[in-house]
Amino acid sequence: MAKEVKQELVQKTQDQYKELQIILEALQVDLLKNASGTGAAGVRVRKALRLLKSKVTETLNFSTECSKAYKAPAGE
């Protein structure tokens, strides 16, 4: 696998991780607000959880593709 391709995979992995972190940080704030009685925060929590689920699925699929790419024979 070419060095540029590997670097691109690493960069995309880091970007996906940062996205997950941002979602989790926002989720934490709204969870605390919801726990203290703010109903609108509960709506935001559920929306963020759906987004998180989507991003996690995307990250899992990307991880699987990366694993396959690293296992592919050198001639491909």
pLDDT tens digits, residue range 18-68? 999 999 999 999 999 999 999 999 999 999 999 999 999 999 999 998 888
pTM higher than the cut 0.85: no
Confidence of residue 75 (pLDDT cuts 50, 70, 90): low
Distance CA(49)–CA(57), nearest Å, equals 12
- Give the CB-side neighbour count of residue 36, counting CA atoms within 13 A: 5
Give the angle subtended at the CA of 64 by the CAs of 61 and 65, to the nearest 5°. Answer: 90
Q: Flag whether pLDDT at 2 surpasses 60.
A: yes
Confidence of residue 1 (pLDDT cuts 50, 70, 90): low
Distance CA(24)–CA(20), nearest Å, equals 6
Q: Flag whether pLDDT at 76 surpasses 60.
A: no
Distance CA(18)–CA(26), nearest Å, equals 12
